[in-house]
Chains A and B, each alone.
Chain A
Amino acid sequence: MNIKINRQGSIESFDIPFQSTTLLKALFYIKQQEDNSLTFSSNCRSGVCGTCAVRVNGKEVLACSYNYQEGDLVEPLAYHEVQRDLKVNKQKVRETLKNSKAWLQSSQQAEITQEQVELTQKQTDCILCDSCYSSCPVLELNPNFIGPFALTRAYRYTADPREGNIQSIVDTIQTNGIWDCTLCGNCTEVCPQGIDPKMDITMLRGTSSQFGYNDPNFQAMDFGFGGF
């Protein structure tokens, strides 16, 4: 089996002398037996720590959860500063969590039903692997876009009955936030946890309307006919 790895722009080819297994095992084989300098990130080997996301043939996967195929091209995540080979700077991207204030703003006592827990059960499965962020075409145009995972996380807290100040989150995600999303659904497609950020963003738009916010794109599209 042969795989190709994008290392700082140059494509290197490696032969793996065993049948397809996880991509992470192949990367370890290369690092330990062939080339100590191959650099990538990983940790739990079981798809919960979110460390080992890369792109294979242009699509985001967790290296520990993907079985490689002959000729695969492995590349670092997009819209992240590449530190070396497949290792990227996630710290900067984590700033989006601060920008979206994705936490419980003000904790209040609440009776919570199992149905309410299940409403955001998927969203709280997020492992912060950044796959969705890497797949998001909006970042090509607007590097300040908060991005899918931080918005999903913001939604998760707005939907928590313990949240006593939904408005604070809603106010925060208006600029470079929910209205910048094109609802293309790439994020939903690549999420290894089956989360649907596109739907979460749609839900946040609904909540925002309740707080008096409108889609600024609609206003921009008002051609003098009184708008929509």
Chain B
Amino acid sequence: MIDVLIIGSGGAGLASALRAKELGADVLVVGKSYPTASQTSMAQGGINASLGNVTADSISSHITDTIKSAHKLCDNHMVEYICHDAPKTIEWLESLGVPFDRTAQYKVAQRQLGGASSKRACYAQDYTGLKILHTLYDTCLKEGIEILEEYFLLNLITEEKVVLGAIFLDIVTGEVKEIRAKSTIIATGGYAGVYRGFTTNSEGATGDGIASVLRAGGVVSDMEFVQFHPTALKSSATLISESARGEGGYLVNSKGERFIDELLPRDVVARAIASQIANGDEVFLDIRHLGEDKILHLMPQEVHLCRLYENIDPIKELIPIKPVAHYSMGGIDVNRELEVTGLKNCYAVGECSNAKVHGANRLGGNSLLEIISLGRLAGENAYKLNVDYSNRDNQQLQKEQEYIESLFEEYPWERNFYQIQDELGRKFYNDAGVVRDNTKLNNLLNELRVIKADIDNMGIGDKERKNNTNLVEFLQFKNILEVGEVILDSAIVRDESRGAHYKEAFPNQDDKLYRANSLYWIEDGILQNRLVKVV
């Protein structure tokens, strides 16, 4: 019997697998793509820890900065936990062989990121996430951790709200399979992929785990909080790391004027850029003054991406940019033990979860910290919980098989879901983006519900069982609709501005009414919600 089933093979999943294995657990990691293809590989800037290797720093400053950026929506206890754990987290990564850059004193080098009061982000050029992820992967191979690749999560197996494992589509064979385990960790990543075409995220960031928790009767929270990264390439939405500004890059409009302090938190900078664009201006990132040597050393990936996707040379030219959806603060609601609210024997960690460490706005460098630090905590807690319900009878597998079967039998294809998904991405960006408005949000919510009701008129054109990516993409689209509905509804409910959520009609933070986490769950087929005050 598997002790701990980990769904998702990015940084959070691998970190929890390694920790559970270290404690003696029988671990299985299951992911829809290859582990090194996960979103973690795209994290560039760094991982925060108050080591003070470059400038004076302290754990309390890290805590203060994080809480400030969270706009009173975080759980201070959880923030304290990760900030205290951060130096140990770096030490652990060091022991695995992560190739962090160094100072002249042989210490881990640290750089400035926005909203931080010190140079706090440990980095490996602008490939920090990539190098952490690959080192974790190498270590998983070393430890003999079993990883099932190309398994798409269909649903959690639940019996009276107890999670007994999960049901997957084996993408390669086309079979629907169940995997039982004593405890399950969901580490499936975020949902910024809802903003398709206007996100730095990979195609796979479709909130699969979040949607599965909703369907299983679990609770999600704070889904309205989506962070927009100020600087993505204008034509491709490819991320240009915050380190470009941290190292001294400027933001300028087409008149060449700077219009904002580039190192303010991401929400403030993103809004300033959005307002320039709304006024018909263009916005550029200017790093030319940093000089060729520094640019090539510190931002080799950015130079490569600019040349490739924007056809410009950032050493000599301005980089055209726009803000795009980058990170989802909300997600599966968890308690301090990372147990999913409303479900038993089930944990969630990483971007798919809302452990309330980022609140209304995440600081750069804190998400890599979260996935490693809390990833290890999830592995530990999931293993400690040694109650085995996994042999209970359950008929869910057959239902899932029948559903997948039905998609092969019927071929409505009256509406092309790909086209709808693209349009929806654009509408989310315009109507549920950096600046929000209730009329637009309501219209979009209505439109989304119409699409949801029409889902049976869509479907898959590809009828081959094996390696059917058309089927996977359709299932992801369905997840986007479920997650998107919660994003819109929660954004409508929150009539205030806080962190990444900004309404022009309600420009102020309203602590009396809205210093609260917005909880959503499905009961008797109907979406329910409640605001729960932060204490």
A1 at interface, CB cutoff 8 A: no
Nearest Cβ distance between residue A33 and chain B, in whole angstroms? 8
**Contact between A43 and B461 (Cβ–Cβ < 8 Å)?**
no
Considering the complex, give the chain B residue whose CB is closest to the CB of A91.
Answer: B149
Kindly report which residue of chain B lies nearest to residue A160, judged by CB atoms. Answer: B97
Within 8 A of B (CB), among A41-65: 41-51, 65
Partner of B41, one of A44, A116, A117: A44
Q: Which of B123-131, B161-169, B512-520, B521-529 contacts A (4 or more CB under 8 A)?
A: B123-131
Asked whether any CB of chain B lies closer than 8 Å to the CB of A205, the reply is no
Q: For residue A84, which residues in chain B have a CB less than 8 angstroms away from its CB?
A: 464, 466-467
Q: Are B99 and A50 in contact, with the CB atoms below 8 A?
A: no
Instruction: Looking at the assembled complex, report how far the CB atom of A176 sits from the nearest CB atom of chain B, in whole angstroms.
Output: 18
Q: CA–CA, A203 to B149, complex, Å?
A: 33
Stretch at the interface among B32-40, B333-341, B433-441, B447-455: B32-40
> Which A residues lie within 8 Å of B124 (CB)?
117, 124
B443 vs chain A, min Cβ distance (A): 25
Q: Could you tell me if B308 and A127 are in contact, using CB atoms closer than 8 angstroms?
A: no
Q: Does B462 contact A (CB under 8 A)?
A: yes
Note all chain B residues with C-beta closer than 8 A to A87: 467, 469
Interface residues of A in 80-125 (CB under 8 A from B): 83-84, 87, 89-91, 94, 97-98, 101-104, 107, 111-114, 116-117, 120-121, 124-125
Q: Which of A109-163 contact B (CB under 8 A)?
A: 111-114, 116-117, 120-121, 124-128, 153, 156-157, 160, 162-163
Is the CB–CB distance between A37 and B464 below 8 Å?
A: yes
Chain B nearest CB from A61 CB (Å) reads 12
**Chief secondary structure at chain A's binding surface:** loop
Asked if residues A113 and B106 are in contact (CB atoms below 8 Å), the reply is: yes
Which B-chain residue is minimally distant from A101 (CB atoms)? Answer: B142
Contacting pair B418 A107 (CB below 8 A): no
Which of A33, A42, A126, A127 has a CB less than 8 Å from the CB of B203? A42
Stretch from B133-141, B377-385, B500-508 forming part of the interface with A: B133-141
Q: Assess whether B130 is in contact with A127, with CB atoms less than 8 Å apart.
A: yes
Instruction: Please pick, from A43, A47, A121, A128, the residue contacting B204 in the complex, using a CB distance under 8 A.
Output: A43
The smallest C-beta distance from B144 to any residue of chain A, in angstroms, reads: 9
Q: Which residues from A are CB-within-8-Å of B430?
A: none
User: What range describes how many residues of B lie at the interface?
Assistant: 35 or more
The interface residues of chain B lying within 8 Å CB-to-CB of A33 are 416, 418
Measured CB to CB, the closest approach of chain B to A125, in angstroms, equals 6
Known: A43-B204, A83-B466. A128 touches B34 (CB 8 A): yes
B residues 77-113 with Cβ under 8 Å of A?
Answer: 94-97, 99-104, 106, 109
Chain A window 17-35, contacts with chain B (Cβ cutoff 8 Å), 1 for yes, 0 for no:
0000000000000011101
Q: Is B470 part of the contact surface with A, judged by Cβ < 8 Å? A: yes
Across chains A and B, the number of contacting residue pairs, with CB separation under 8 Å, is 146
Q: Which residues of A contact B238 (CB under 8 A)?
A: 45-46
B202 touches A44 (CB 8 A): yes
- Residues of B with C-beta under 8 A to A89: 172
B273 to nearest A CB, angstroms?
20
B298 to chain A, nearest CB (A): 12
B42 touches A46 (CB 8 A): yes
**Closest CB of chain A to B460's CB: distance in Å?**
7
How many angstroms from the CA of A121 to the CA of B130 in the assembled complex? 12
Q: How far is the CB of B408 from chain A (nearest CB, A)?
A: 13
B279 interfacial by beta-carbon distance below 8 Å:
no
B179 in the interface (beta carbon within 8 A) = no
Q: Which residues of A contact B172 (CB under 8 A)?
A: 83, 89
B523 to chain A, nearest CB (A): 35
At the interface, yes or no: A68 with Cβ under 8 Å from chain B? no
Contact A107 B130 (CB under 8 A): no
Q: Is the CB of B106 within 8 A of A32?
A: no
The answer, yes or no, to whether A36 is at the interface (CB within 8 Å) is yes
Indicate whether A39 reaches chain B with its CB closer than 8 angstroms.
Answer: yes
A42 CB contacts on chain B under 8 angstroms: 203
**6 pairs from A and B in contact (CB 8 Å cutoff):** A46-B236, A48-B301, A50-B37, A51-B33, A83-B466, A103-B138
| B residues adjacent to A (C-beta < 8 A) | 33-34, 36-39, 41-42, 94-97, 99-104, 106, 109, 124-125, 127, 130-131, 134, 138-139, 141-142, 149, 172, 200, 202-204, 236, 238-239, 301, 304-305, 308-309, 416, 418-419, 460-464, 466-470
Listed from nearest, the 10 A-B pairs whose CB atoms lie closest are: A36-B461, A32-B418, A104-B97, A37-B462, A103-B138, A84-B467, A103-B142, A49-B37, A111-B106, A114-B102
